[in-house]
Structures are given as structure tokens and as C-alpha cells.
Structure 1
Amino acid sequence: MAHDPGLTPAEDGVRLRALSRSFDGRTVLDGIELDIPRGEFTALLGHSGSGKSTLLRAVAGLDEAVAGEGLIQVPEPSSVVFQDARLLPWSRVLDNVALGLPGPRAAARERGRAALAEVGLADKENAWPATLSGGEAARVALARALVREPRLLLLDEPFGALDALTRMRMHGLLRDLCARHRPAVLLVTHDVDEALLLADRLLVLTDGRFSLDLRPDSPAGPERRRHPGFADLRDRLLFALGVPEEARV
């Protein structure tokens, strides 16, 4: 399998061809093909163990065992945000954000400050990670990802550990940041409502293949809930995920 971080079609987006992955003889990715152009927000859903995170790790270049006759082409730079913010506890917030940035240290720190200001944490640059709330840590993780101006942003259930109100605030912040920076985005989530509010495109992974591929007519955001087709769209996703009608709320 070729993992090529060079030029790609689809406006510097993602191009996947014939991705396959098996664990102990069980196929979790079966000839996956996917394009994500720059500026498009794609959400990937599926039940636990369906291969969502496996696909994201393959795109991130973190799984060398992915096999197939095709290829993975992704734009660079790319950034990954996980559910755990993964901040270095021995470094202050600004140093976490600026970690690994090329160039002079002073310039890197200025870029880090600008990224913290974007996520509303300009006053936390000297804080230690242990003093942050869950929402603040998630915002620092976003700042660390976006300070690199990625052309590809990969999100692996980044808000799964947050309470409902904090998660709502993070959704709004993420939408605004993605609209400003316009990376190609792949979000892995188990939350149907999160996917509906954030994504331009909705995919469901079942038995190693996409069982559903939807592009809603309405724009992403809270306004989508008021669209006449919202309830039907949500039902289609829940049906594809195997949720029985009587359990849908």
C-alpha cells in the first residue's frame, strides 16, 4: 500500500483507493474508496468495532499494516486530534501548542499565541495542563492542531469525554475554525447528532464498506435541525447504524 503525502486531486484533498485491513482474519476495511476535497467536512459513523478509527489511523499514516492494491494520498501538513487531549503535563499550555513548530522559537511561540487566541484561551498560555477543564484541554488540542495550518484535519471522537453543554460549545468553535482554515476534515464519531450538526457529508461504515453516503441539502450547523428533511435524515442514519425504531429518541 502506498501512502503518498504529495500532490493529490480534489483540491489538495484526500484520495483513498482499495484500502483493506484485517485483524485475526476478520476484515474491518474491505476495499475502501473515498475522496475528501479541501474544505469539506466528512463525518464517519459506525457501531463499535466497525473500523472507524482504523480508517482514520490509516489516513494518518499510523497503521502500516493496511493492505490493498490502491493507495492513500493525503495533503501535508496534516493534524490529528484524539479524544484524549494528550497534552504534555510537564509543559505549559503555550509550549504544548508550539511544540515541534519549525523556525525560531520566538516565532513559533507567537504562532502558538495566535492559535490560543483563536480558541479563546489567550489568558491560559502559562497554565499547566493539569489546571485546565476538559473543555479547555480540548481547545488547546485544537489550537495545537490548527497552528500548523493543516490541509487535512483528522478528528477521532475529540469531544466524547465532554459534558453536553461543553460539547455544544466545542461544536460551534470547530465549525468556525474549519470555515476559517478550510482543511479537509474527517471526523470519526459515534454521535449521530454531532455528525448531523457538523458535517457536509455523512458516511456509515458497515462490514468494512460504506453502507450509507449522504450529502444533506441543508448547511451544517444548528439551523439544520429546523430543515424539513432533518428527521428523515436522522432516521436514515439510525437505521443504517442498526438502531431499532422503538429505541430512536
Structure 2
Amino acid sequence: MASNHRELGVQTRDLSRSFGARTILDSITLDIPAGQFVALLGRSGSGKSTLLRALAGLDHDVEGSGTLRVPEKTSVVFQDSRLLPWQRVLANVLFGQPRSLHAAGQARLAEVGLAGRERAWPAELSGGEQQRVALARSLVDEPDLLLADEPFGALDALTRIKMHELLRDLIARHTPTVLLVTHDVDEAITLAQRVLVLDAGRLTVDLPIDLPARRDPGDPEFQHIRRTLLGALGVVPAAA
């Protein structure tokens, strides 16, 4: 169910999803205030992408008697840039949008560092540049909610660092609510104001991240949060 209220981020009550006898989401209740950046961690098969698809309106078989509310203006960015190879860069950014957003498309490309590349073909771009185009496309109509499904998972380490900086700047400028699905604990702590852990279809951790906007992985508090989350994921013993 979509809402026109800008103050709404995400709200779910008792959201469930099963595939055959297997329960993937088990009565998920979640509130995300408008403008908050939330990262969602979980092991493979924990239900992260299933939850994101439900919030994006891409899965109509979610169950339960509860609520599912997201803003009407919601966009999604995936690990694969999903650019149309037969369309030039600006046409990809504006795909499905009214002609009135032509100038906005050019502005978003400039914001992601691709001014002057409007008429390039996707094949002429690096993987990082293609993801920059995908980010520009996801923000061209100023969405109230941005859902990101491991958007940097296929990029090399140095490119990921640059993309983290870019995403942080874009979110500060456009202020959507963000739900970022990731396997990367450091990425979650670096970017988010709040980190959730999904385990066996249930939210088992809901941790606010009280760190400066520009975060140092060497900071003892960063490392404490990291150990707490790795413990919740079963990677290391839980932090004391």
C-alpha cells in the first residue's frame, strides 16, 4: 500500500512470506521514519532481498493481516545496473519518466560525476560508471524512499569506497528514506544511521549508529559496533 505522506518512511506489521513450506519472512514489524538511512544485514537466504522486493511492490504474495505502507514515490537500485544497452546514458536515466524531467536527468548525471556523458552508450562505461548512472536514474524524480539491493556488491574495493562517498553526498542532498540491503558489515556501519539484522526471517538486531557522518573504521566505537554485528551474524563470538 502506497501513501502520499512525505512524513512516512516505511511501516510494516506482521509481514510474512513463504515459498512452499519454507517461511522466508516471519511476521516482520518495522518502522523507519522519513529521511532515515537504514542498512539491513543478514546471511544468504535470510530474507533480505525478499523484504526489499515486498517494500518495492515487486512481490504481491506477501501475507499477514498487518500493514505494509511505503511512500508512493519509491525507487529501487540493484547490484546489476540494469541499463538498457540500446539506449544512451541520458535516455536510461529518463526511462519511464516524463519529458519534463530532461533537465533533472542532466542534473543527476552531473551530480554523479558523469556530466558530458549523456550520449555515451552503457558499453562505453566502466562498472562503477554504470552504477553511477543507476543511482542517477533512481533519484531523477526525487523519490521519498530509495531501496538499494547490494548496489556496490559487484564493484572492486577502491570503487566501492568512492561510491560510498557519492551515495552519502547524494542522500544528504536529496534526503530520501533509504533501506540498503548489504552483506558488508563495514559498509552498513559506514553509511547507515541504523542497522538491522535479519535472521531466519526475523529481525533480531535493531542498532542505532551514533557516529560522526564521516566515519573512521579505526575508531574503537566503530570496531565495537562491527564486532556486535559480526556476532549477531554468527561470524565471531558476540561482543561483551
**Normalised by the shorter chain, which TM-score bucket?**
over 0.9
Q: Does 1:64 align with 2:60?
A: yes
Q: Does 1:111 align with 2:91?
A: no
- Per the alignment, residue 31 of structure 1 pairs with 27
Q: What SS does structure 1 have at the residue aligned with 2:3?
A: coil
For the residues of structure 2 that align with 1:184 and 1:207, how far apart are their CA atoms? Answer: 25
- Per the alignment, residue 210 of structure 1 pairs with 203
Number of residues paired by the alignment? 239
- Per the alignment, residue 120 of structure 2 pairs with 127
Q: 1:156 aligns with which of 131, 141, 149?
A: 149
Q: 2:74 aligns with which of 66, 72, 78?
A: 78
Instruction: Name stretches of at least 5 consecutive residues in structure 1 with no aligned partner.
Output: none
For the residues of structure 1 that align with 2:48 and 2:214, how far apart are their CA atoms? Answer: 23
For the residues of structure 1 that align with 2:41 and 2:214, how far apart are their CA atoms? Answer: 18
For the residues of structure 2 that align with 1:232 and 1:181, how far apart are their CA atoms? Answer: 31
Instruction: Name stretches of at least 5 consecutive residues in structure 2 with no aligned partner.
Output: none
Dislocated runs of 4+, deviation >3 Å: none
For the residues of structure 1 that align with 2:107 and 2:210, how far apart are their CA atoms? Answer: 35
Q: Does 1:231 align with 2:223?
A: yes
> Which protein is richer in helix relative to its size?
1
Matching residue's letter, 2:62: V
**Could you tell me how far 1:98 is from its partner in structure 2?**
1.1
For the residues of structure 2 that align with 1:46 and 1:219, how far apart are their CA atoms? Answer: 24
Percent identity between matched residues is 64
Output the TM-score relative to the length of structure 1.
0.92
Q: Is the 8 A contact 1:46 1:190 kept in 2?
A: yes
RMSD, matched Cα: 1.7
Matching residue's letter, 2:184: D
Q: Does 1:53 align with 2:45?
A: no
Q: Is the 8 A contact 2:188 2:195 kept in 1?
A: yes
- Per the alignment, residue 164 of structure 2 pairs with 171
**Could you tell me how far 1:222 is from its partner in structure 2?**
2.7
Q: Is the 8 A contact 1:97 1:141 kept in 2?
A: yes
Q: Is the 8 A contact 1:87 1:96 kept in 2?
A: yes
